[in-house]
Amino acid sequence: MFQPSPWRADFPAIAALQRQHQTYLDNAATTQKPQAVLDALSHYYGHGAANVHRAQHLPGALATQAFEDTRNKVAAWLNADPQQIIFTHGATSALNLLAYGLEQDFQAGDEIAVSALEHHANLLPWQQLARRRNARLVILPLDAHGRIDLEQALQLIGPRTRLLAVSQLSNVLGTWQPLPSLLAHARAQGALTVVDGAQGVVHGRHDLQQLECDFYVFSSHKLYGPDGVGVLYGRDRALQRLRHWQFGGEMVQIADYQASSFRPAPLGFEAGTPPIAGVIGLGATLEYLAKLDANAVAAHEASLHGYLLRGLSDREGIRVLGTPDTALASFVIEGVHNADIAHMLTEQGIAVRAGHHCAMPLLKRLDLDGAIRVSLALYNDSDDLQRFFDALDQGLELLR
């Protein structure tokens, strides 16, 4: 049965891709942008770009107002205070800010806990912090479904744990992680908690007051917004523990040749000229998303996801990794290398992702050198998936 997307026409790139005979199913890597975002970027650049916070002229005042309006929109989206929202250049940038800004809190023998399914962006900063401070990186194992094994994790997170960093939604396995129990246990041990929301933020609204993490990060470009923009949320007491790690304009309170003082969050962690246009574009994205029927979006994505999983399970020799909850599915095909099938799909205009998905340790733990990933967005429809399955069948016929 045809499952149309009522929001497809809001994304001009989808029609452009169709004219190029391309079907876009790589949304976990980056999403297309609604017309509202394109309009916001065009307006900013076309009506007088200016730097924020420093200028006394009208273009500077308008840019600052639009920039800070987005901070307010992000805060409202997450149920946070605007002063808890720091703009970065992406989730990776935000996680590195934390790893350097919190470094002084770690001593030899301390423990940092991460899960076995983390994206490199939420593994490598903590790995390198552990190396610098002679701390121990503890890896939380997974269960058979691709979720953090809660029973084992609660045993591994103990009094020596200084920080827990986990993904909200796996970018490879498509599984929601048991955050409430994990975060509560880590808090009880006195550990800081970091949630990588890069995938999770795209699928539903998440109230950070209920989640009760110390830090939460995400990237704009996965949430239908511009590239080069990230968000770092921090609870007030957690932000006070951060030390400045980048220095320059904007974050300075008083500067002299031999010593300087710096602003608190959020501006104290936004050194230099920020990605102004991108931040304004993110604000337009949140405005657009706020007007949608969230239940209708969730139902549409769930229906498509079910169609995807059924189609994969119906084909012989395909193994889906984990038990995906939403949005995506990663799979391998018996006797066929993932790079070969990805090439065949690309030849037929199907844009999916192949390889280790920036989660190489996870794929190694699964004894795989890569997998195919199909990931969905609100503008996809069942015709997209049917074209994918037709191309997949044709590729399998040639490769087997």
Q: Which amino acid is at 239?
A: L
The residues with which 372 forms a beta bridge, in sequence order, are 331, 354
Q: Which amino acid is at 374?
A: V
User: In whole angstroms, what is the distance from residue 224 CA to residue 289 CA?
Assistant: 9
The residues with which 165 forms a beta bridge, in sequence order, are 114, 194
CB 168 within 8 A of CB 179: yes
User: In whole angstroms, what is the distance from residue 392 CA to residue 397 CA?
Assistant: 9
**Half-sphere exposure (Cβ direction) of 164: Cα atoms closer than 13 Å:** 32
What spatial distance separates the first Cα and last Cα of the chain, rounded to whole Å? 29
Residue 189: name the closest of 159, 151, 154 by CA: 159
Task: State the catalytic residues.
Answer: 358
Looking at the chain, the number of H-run helices and the number of E-run strands are: 14, 15
3-state secondary structure (DSSP) of residue 94: helix
In Å, how far are 101, 246, 249, 255 from 260, measured between CA atoms? Answer: 17, 13, 12, 4
User: In whole angstroms, what is the distance from residue 366 CA to residue 184 CA?
Assistant: 29
Length in residues, the chain: 400
Encode 262-296: b = buried (16+ Cβ within 10 Å), e = exposed: bbebbbbbbbeebbbbbbbbbbbbbbbbeeeeeee
Torsion (CA) 224, 229, 235, 238 in degrees, nearest 10? 140
Contacts of 54-63 with CB under 8 Å at 24 or more apart are 54/249, 54/250, 63/276, 63/280
CB 106 within 8 A of CB 134: no
Q: Which two tokens stand for residue 370?
A: 């890569």
